[in-house]
């Protein structure tokens, strides 16, 4: 075993500095989200983990997109105008172009675009849509080049919907990770989902860390099918957290569940969620810190670094961010 391999084996994710810096959709504040180039920039900026959101193609291949509607982040409307359609996804009517209607070969003809109008569109039309296997290969190459581990934080998007089409997204993610050699709880991988049932089933198939995502409102899309009336708020009570701990290793809450803000963006008294989750044996990874003025609460007075520091003071174990460079400056540099 080489010296680099020995160092990498020794650097288990449990030994990494806290809070972990999780590159949300890559360095998506600087490059179109979910492209290899966005992930590459995140790694070069010092992110601990990269976050691929995953959906599936018609021929059953995992690709990185935030949602199965791909019209908002690619040039599919120009290349396949006749494929536009309307579907019901998790109870919502959605019109657009859908990953599950395209083969991988067709997806590979597309190019990524920036989603948000107020971010740079300089890179639009240049980058491919990556498969999960390509992302795993990218991570393997970057780890060898840099001599450090790079964590993966894949999210199964719309698992019940995919499975209703015969696309077994959660099994596909687990199988891909196991094939790549990620098998232990201490490996630098967290599998995340907004649904509960697929994480419960995943618990029976893998030792890898599982994260229950929770939003500030609403309830898991599979709640009705499971006969469970609880919403995300109920899952965040001590009793709810005890339930989550029966199948998951942590929670991924919207940041307002940890640091509430007023309608004017003023910082309110913090919640007890971090303490309660830790008491249940769960880590806490909050989403999503973004520097854009559309997202930064007014209470931070225009200083995006202040939000990372506030969340760190509150004891979170990881922070999703579109701007890993700012997270590194706020959390990993000695001077403030
Ligand atoms: O997965 C954490 C965070 O990314 C959840 O929100 O909608 O950006 O996937 P979303
Ligand atoms: Ca996500």
| pLDDT value at residue 153 | 98
Q: Which ligand 1 atom lies nearest to the CA of residue 24?
A: 4
Spatial neighbors of 41 by CB under 8 A, at least 6 apart, are 26, 27, 30, 31
Q: Among 331, 202, 313, 190, which residue's Cα sits nearest to residue 252?
A: 190
Domain 3-67+126-331 = CATH 3.40.50.2300: no
Sign of CA pseudo-dihedral 62, 68, 73, 76: positive
For residue 63 the two structure tokens come to 């690709």
Which ligand does the CA of 211 lie closest to? 1
Cα–Cα dist 185/206, whole Å: 9
Q: How many CB atoms lie within 10 A of CB 15?
A: 9
Dihedral angle over CA of 63, 224, 166, 244, nearest 10: 50
- Catalytic residue numbers, as ranges: 24, 66
Is the CB of 28 within 6 Å of ligand 1? no
Q: Going residue by residue through the chain, which has 336 residues, state the pLDDT in tens, using 9 for 90 and above.
A: 343 444 444 567 888 999 999 999 999 999 999 999 999 999 999 999 999 999 999 999 999 999 999 999 999 999 999 999 999 999 999 999 999 999 999 999 999 999 999 999 999 999 999 999 999 999 999 999 999 999 999 999 999 999 999 999 999 999 999 999 999 999 999 999 999 999 999 999 999 999 999 999 999 999 999 999 999 999 999 999 999 999 999 999 999 999 999 999 999 999 999 999 999 999 999 999 999 999 999 999 999 999 999 999 999 999 999 999 999 999 998 754
Model pTM score: 0.96
| Probe target for ligand 1 pocket from 287, 319, 324, with the most ligand atoms within 8 Å of CB | 287
- The DSSP bridge partners found for residue 280 are none
Q: Is 94 exposed, middle or buried (0-12, 13-18, 19+ CB in 10 A)?
A: middle
192 CA distance to ligand 2 centroid (A)?
Answer: 8
């Amino acid at each position: 075993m080489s010296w680099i391999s020995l160092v990498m084996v020794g650097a288990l994710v449990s030994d990494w500095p806290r809070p972990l810096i999780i590159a949300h959709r890559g360095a998506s504040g600087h490059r179109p989200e979910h492209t290899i180039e966005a992930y590459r920039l995140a790694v070069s900026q010092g992110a601990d983990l990269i976050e691929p959101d995953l959906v599936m193609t018609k021929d059953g291949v995992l690709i990185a997109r935030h949602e199965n509607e791909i019209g908002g982040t690619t040039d599919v409307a120009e290349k396949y105008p006749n494929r536009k359609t309307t579907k019901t996804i998790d109870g919502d009517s959605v019109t657009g172009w859908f990953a599950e209607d395209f083969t991988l070969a067709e997806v590979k003809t597309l190019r990524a675009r920036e989603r948000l109008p107020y971010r740079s569109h300089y890179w639009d039309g240049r980058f491919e849509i990556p498969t999960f296997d390509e992302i795993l290969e990218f991570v393997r190459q970057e780890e060898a080049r840099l001599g450090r581990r790079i964590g993966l934080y894949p999210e199964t998007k719309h698992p019940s919907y995919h499975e209703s089409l015969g696309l077994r997204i959660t099994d596909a993610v687990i199988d891909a990770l196991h094939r790549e050699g990620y098998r232990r709880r201490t490996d630098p991988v967290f599998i995340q989902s907004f649904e509960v049932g697929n994480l419960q089933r995943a618990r029976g198939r893998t030792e890898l860390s599982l994260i229950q995502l929770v939003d500030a409102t609403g309830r898991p899309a599979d709640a009705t099918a499971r006969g469970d009336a609880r919403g995300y708020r109920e899952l965040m009570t001590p009793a709810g957290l005890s339930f989550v701990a029966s199948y998951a290793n942590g929670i991924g809450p919207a940041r307002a569940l940890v640091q509430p803000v007023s309608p004017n963006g003023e910082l309110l008294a913090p919640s007890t969620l971090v303490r309660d989750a830790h008491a249940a044996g769960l880590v806490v990874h909050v989403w999503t810190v973004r520097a854009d003025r559309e997202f930064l609460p007014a209470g931070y007075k225009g200083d995006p670094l202040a939000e990372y520091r506030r969340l760190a003071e509150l004891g979170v174990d990881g922070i999703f961010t579109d701007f890993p460079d700012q997270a590194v400056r706020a959390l990993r540099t000695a001077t403030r």
